[in-house]
Amino acid sequence: MHETVLRPAPKPYFSGMNRIPNLLIRQVLLLLLIFGLGWALFSGLLPFLPAFLGAYTLYVLLRQPMFFLAHRWQWHKVLSASVLMLLTLAVIWVPLQFLVQLMQGRLIETVQHSPAWLHNLEVAVHQLESKYGVTVLTPEMLKNLNDWSLTQARSLISATIEGVTTALLAGFILFFMLIQGRQMETQFLNWVPLRPENATDLKRQLNNLVFSNAVGIPLLGLLQGLAALPAYWIAGVENFMLWVALTAITGMLPVLGVALAYVPLSLLLIADGMLIKGIVLFLYGFIVIGSADNVGRMWLQKKLGNTHPLITLFGVILGLKFFGFIGFVFGPILISLFLLLIRIYSKEFGHEGHAAH
């Protein structure tokens, strides 16, 4: 008789060590749900991101005055926040909106009279070409210049309307940030997946980046605007204060910077028949206003933070593309923050971090 050999029943594939724990499955599903909802919320609220960034920038600037009023003088938080927001409105938004309205009116006038101005410019350029035997502008270049100026003027007017909406929303967000500042910062330290000392260092460095850019970049533009003021006034430029404001705004831009203001102004003077004034103004802008940019940048880097010029350059380009006008401040911050996170990661998980553990 043959003996029957009893073989053990095959084990299920996911038995024992091969089975995925239920806790891990629930955790993965919950994380997927969180990330999915988070991405949906982020995508829906992305148009409001410039308003949030603007509110955070103002919060960093008003943080210490808010704590002083609320804790040192024992003012009510709502009263403290309201007073600071009214002061901010008086210092920033009222002059800014006045400037925007002034520029908008001038831009409409520019669009209406641009054919006549371009004709005068073309006549002046042809006179120079015939006198010196060189080709400066072709008809195709003039047509492209006209089309580009009209497009940029319409875009700027549209951006003005969007900017007002963003400013109102930023003020609404800022009010709650000021009232709940301490709780917000505590939650930030609890949520960041870093050791407490590194989380605190991240918050401090981020606030310093925001402060240096929010104060330094506008100051640099203001310095160049003040440097241009006497030249525009002596040259008898019509609406010279508007051109001073344009010089201050373009002074915050990298690479070309104030050249976007004094070069067109010089060409307009030449087109109106004031050749000497146009050439002198161009040389003044290139030598004096450009030097003010270099000196001011070195002083600001020494006083407010040593930000590399390439970080400012690519940061402003990136910030304007993604965030609009507030990108002047947050573009360089994003690049600096990326480098800061790399450094903190090295402290958290590198040799220094392992030694601390």
In angstroms, the CA 218 to CA 212 distance is: 10
Please tell me the pTM assigned to this model.
Answer: 0.67
Domain ranges of the chain: 50-187
With tokens 């709650």, the residue in question is 176
In angstroms, the CA 351 to CA 340 distance is: 17
Q: Helix, strand, or coil here: 257?
A: coil
Mean pLDDT by 10 residues, the chain (357 residues): 53 57 84 90 83 84 88 87 87 72 61 59 68 63 64 59 74 88 80 80 81 79 86 83 82 74 85 83 85 70 64 77 72 82 80 53
Q: What is the DSSP string of 131-167?
A: HHT-----HHHHHHHHHHHHHHHHHHHHHHHHHHHHH
pLDDT of the residue at 33: 92
pLDDT of the residue at 1: 47
Tokens of 11: 């084990």
Backbone angles phi, psi at 139, to 5 degrees: -60, -35
Q: Which phi-psi region, left, alpha or beta, contains residue 319 (left: φ > 0; alpha: ψ -120 to 50)?
A: alpha
In angstroms, the CA 313 to CA 332 distance is: 8
In angstroms, the CA 322 to CA 49 distance is: 9
